A and B are shown apart, each in its own frame.
Chain A
Amino acid sequence: MGIILILAPISMALGLAGLGAFWWTLRSGQYDDPAGDAARILIDDTDNRIS
């Protein structure tokens, strides 16, 4: 029984963390341009710092 009192808050905290993370992604506009974000990863950086 005692284990529930430990595990329940932990699972709640994890759930809240997930909800908070979702809230952050929503606020920072990560769903505003799905097509653009998918394409953006293909763009090469022009300043090649290694060479």
Chain B
Amino acid sequence: MALTYDLARAPDLSAFLRKDKDGSASLDLLVKGARCAACMSKIESAVTALPDVAAARLNLTEGRLSVRFTSPRGDAARVVAALDKLGYPATPFDPAKAAQAHDQESRRLILALAVAGFGAGNAMMFSVPVWAGLFGQELGPATRSIMLWLSAIVATPCAIYAGLPFFESAWRSLKAGKANMDVPISVGVILTLFISFVETFLNGRDAYFDAAVSLLFLLLIGRWLDHRLRARARSAAADLLALQAPAATVLGLDGLERVKPLSEVAVGERILVRPGERIPVDGFVEDGVSELDNALLTGETAPVDVRPGDTCRAGAVNLTGQLRILAIAKSEDSAVAAIARLVEAGAQNKSLYVRLADKAASVYVPVIHSVAALTFFGGLAFGLGPREALLRAVALLIITCPCALGLAVPAVQITASARLFRKGVLVKSGAALERLSEVDHVVFDKTGVLTEGRSRLIEAPAEALALAAPLARASAHPLARALAAEAGPGPRATEVVETAGQGVEGLVEGRSARLGRASFVGLEGVRGGETELWFAIQGETPIRFRFSDQLRADAAATVAELRALGLGVEILSGDLEGPVARAAQTLHIDHWRSGQSPQDKAAVIDALTAEGRKVLMVGDGLNDTAALAKAHAAMAPGAALDASQNAADLVFSGEALGAVADSIRVARAARSRALENFGFSALYNLGAIPLAMLGFVNPLIAALAMSGSSLVVTLNALRMHGAGKA
């Protein structure tokens, strides 16, 4: 099949090309729908066959296609068109964002982990003979000394390399005048290496080279898990950004259409917005008549008419006609900016949240360090030599290693978020799970959260539906499409003429018919509260089709489930009183407010917080963004605006609202696992500290205790796999 390519209509995507060093250009695309080997070979061979394309490679894991062109002026639009023909919609990535996608930090942590693993394994090889010597086997002092030196040669460079992430973080925190968890880790590792070298010089017995490296190995596992959790959420967020706010079609002075990244749209430029597209920046309508869906901005379900001279705000969806808009603000200064400031204030609140592990560390660090100091000075006071006293203090520092803090919490959180990920819930960070587990009150937005966010036909006579369906199939208007979906497949009307903002007319069964607003079918002064369409066919009285935004199928069940979990439920909507009251009644929710502005919503959240409640906000619109940022925890559906998804801690996809209750259950289970792990390590330390103080700890016991405690903590975390089931 030859790929037809309409040069005249294709927009110019050259702003998305990335210039390579060798003079060629490349392009990164987000490709939806590629799942298997067949898709991969189809996409790669079709794109490689295009002129000027040097190579194309699809990353199936991330759904990203990298295309390298032979010339610096590659035709990006042709690639997108070819993919579209194959049935895979593709969106270009902003070059600046595509560069960030390469995760250097993750590679560095993996390499540090590999080096630590190598060091621990090989240092242990020399430690085992020394340990055997502890049980009175024949091991001469000279042999032991050789073993310890070999162990030092292996372990020291490995410990220094693998410890760098901790040392750097500890140094940064000390420079800022604080002490985070990495400070005691760094002190412990450096002190251990130092005392082990001293022991080796003095032909001593207790050198902890292997312990220093294995400590880092275990801690790096925790660090890497935590990093992966955040990296996955970040790349998913980047995908959403590419999909939702990709670009604006700018009309040049020469009349050519050019697609630009949003951030490059300047004030005074003319922008073309086709039906179904989102208004990219604030502007005046210069040309065209249409209806705008402001649902994501204000929560209102009824569309608003616009004509030349009207203003329109970024984020609204253009429904019926093509609009030409004169930009009056840059993307970052658009109406969104006021809300963005509220969001920032809320985000600062959230950064004040103290994570579970940090809370534990603030108790753990001073206690352990004073006990270690006590051991040293107590040992001196009881007549031990300084060397023996220092050895006991270091043994104490090693055996009370903060593995539970470094490994236990990330291990629990990554299993919990993997569980939620399989259910279609994306967790943005570990802290989000911790906050979610504490909530005691849930506030829902109505439109798009409790409801499906799109209109459905609720009232129609069957014979009229069959007559109106052919006209509806020919129209792109969302209400007409809802009608067509209800009627199922069938014939289309002929001689169809669509008048933007009014309706559609054509021939049905040889009779002329009209489908649209009341005035379009000749009725004046009729305007219902609901979203509606009127249908008139030659020789009969007009018929009204009513549409409503239906509640999600499991909304009532979810509300009941949340109550069973002991949570308060409330609705906070920007929509009119009627629809909100109806939804609240159906769901048996007593507390509801309608007509709320973004500021009102944020104020309600503040008031609830002041009452001492921990609020979970579930919202999708721009009008919810400030409330999402202010709430203790926040969730947004996958269909939400990118700004809302950025403000939310968790994003759930799919139709089911039950994800909210599931997430809370899993988050609570994760919190109790983490607390169990802390309890376990407290118990373990309680036993280990006296042993170390009395000098019963030797390198073998330290190694066994350390790996044993980490193992128990990890196994406990793996119990998360079955947790939170309904």
Q: Is the CB of B40 within 8 A of A40?
A: yes
Mark A1-41 against chain B: 1 for CB-CB distance below 8 A, else 0: 10010001001100110110011001000011111100111
A4, B139: Cα distance in complex, Å: 14
Q: Is the CB of A33 within 8 A of B37?
A: no
A-facing residues in B16-58 (Cβ within 8 Å): 36-37, 40-41, 45, 58
| Residue of B whose beta carbon sits closest to that of A23 | B111
Q: Is the CB of B40 within 8 A of A43?
A: yes
Q: Which residues of B contact A46 (CB under 8 A)?
A: 45
Q: With an 8 A cutoff between CB atoms, is A50 at the interface? A: no
A42, B41: Cα distance in complex, Å: 10
Q: With an 8 A cutoff between CB atoms, is B122 at the interface? A: yes
| Residue of B whose beta carbon sits closest to that of A9 | B150
Mark B105-119 against chain A: 1 for CB-CB distance below 8 A, else 0: 001001100110010
A31, B62: Cα distance in complex, Å: 12
Q: Is the CB of A40 within 8 A of B118?
A: no
Q: Is the CB of B61 within 8 A of A40?
A: no
Q: Is the CB of A34 within 8 A of B61?
A: yes
Q: Which residues of B contact A40 (CB under 8 A)?
A: 37, 40
Q: Is the CB of A36 within 8 A of B40?
A: yes
A34, B118: Cα distance in complex, Å: 24
| Residue of B whose beta carbon sits closest to that of A14 | B122
In the complex with contacts A36-B59, A40-B40, A11-B114 CB distance below 8 A: no
Q: Is the CB of A23 within 8 A of B114?
A: yes
Q: Is the CB of B122 within 8 A of A36?
A: no
A-facing residues in B62-108 (Cβ within 8 Å): 62, 107
Interface size of A by CB at 8 A reads: 24
Q: With an 8 A cutoff between CB atoms, is B143 at the interface? A: yes
Q: Is the CB of A19 within 8 A of B118?
A: yes
CB of A51, distance to nearest CB on chain B (Å)? 20
Q: Is the CB of A12 within 8 A of B40?
A: no
Q: Is the CB of A39 within 8 A of B40?
A: yes
A4, B149: Cα distance in complex, Å: 13
CB of A48, distance to nearest CB on chain B (Å)? 15
Q: Which residues of B contact A36 (CB under 8 A)?
A: 40, 58-61
In the complex with contacts A1-B143, A12-B154, A26-B37 CB distance below 8 A: no
Q: Is the CB of B40 within 8 A of A19?
A: no
Q: Which residues of A contact B59 (CB under 8 A)?
A: 32-33, 36
CB of B77, distance to nearest CB on chain A (Å)? 25
Q: With an 8 A cutoff between CB atoms, is B121 at the interface? A: yes
Q: With an 8 A cutoff between CB atoms, is B715 at the interface? A: no
Q: Is the CB of B110 within 8 A of A26?
A: yes
CB of B184, distance to nearest CB on chain A (Å)? 28
Q: Is the CB of B60 within 8 A of A33?
A: yes
Q: With an 8 A cutoff between CB atoms, is B125 at the interface? A: yes
CB of B101, distance to nearest CB on chain A (Å)? 11
Q: Is the CB of A11 within 8 A of B111?
A: no
CB of B346, distance to nearest CB on chain A (Å)? 35
CB of B146, distance to nearest CB on chain A (Å)? 8
Q: Which residues of B contact A19 (CB under 8 A)?
A: 114-115, 118
Q: Is the CB of A15 within 8 A of B122?
A: yes
Q: Is the CB of A33 within 8 A of B114?
A: no
CB of B412, distance to nearest CB on chain A (Å)? 24
A-facing residues in B609-653 (Cβ within 8 Å): none
Q: Which residues of B contact A11 (CB under 8 A)?
A: 122, 125
CB of B148, distance to nearest CB on chain A (Å)? 13
Q: Which residues of B contact A34 (CB under 8 A)?
A: 61
CB of B708, distance to nearest CB on chain A (Å)? 24
A12, B40: Cα distance in complex, Å: 42
| Residue of B whose beta carbon sits closest to that of A5 | B146
In the complex with contacts A12-B154, A26-B107, A39-B60 CB distance below 8 A: yes
CB of A33, distance to nearest CB on chain B (Å)? 4
Q: Which residues of B contact A22 (CB under 8 A)?
A: 114
| Residue of B whose beta carbon sits closest to that of A31 | B110
A8, B36: Cα distance in complex, Å: 47
| Residue of A whose beta carbon sits closest to that of B62 | A33
A35, B40: Cα distance in complex, Å: 11
11 contacts between A and B (CB under 8 A): A4-B146, A8-B125, A15-B118, A18-B118, A23-B111, A26-B110, A32-B59, A33-B61, A33-B62, A36-B58, A39-B60
Nearest first, the 10 closest Cβ-Cβ pairs linking A and B are A36-B60, A39-B37, A42-B37, A43-B41, A35-B61, A33-B59, A35-B60, A19-B118, A33-B61, A15-B122
Footprint of B on A, CB under 8 Å?
1, 4, 8, 11-12, 15-16, 18-19, 22-23, 26, 31-36, 39-43, 46
Given contacts A11-B125, A40-B40, A43-B37, 14 further A-B contacts (CB under 8 A): A4-B146, A12-B122, A12-B154, A19-B114, A19-B115, A19-B118, A23-B111, A26-B107, A33-B60, A33-B61, A36-B40, A39-B36, A39-B37, A40-B37
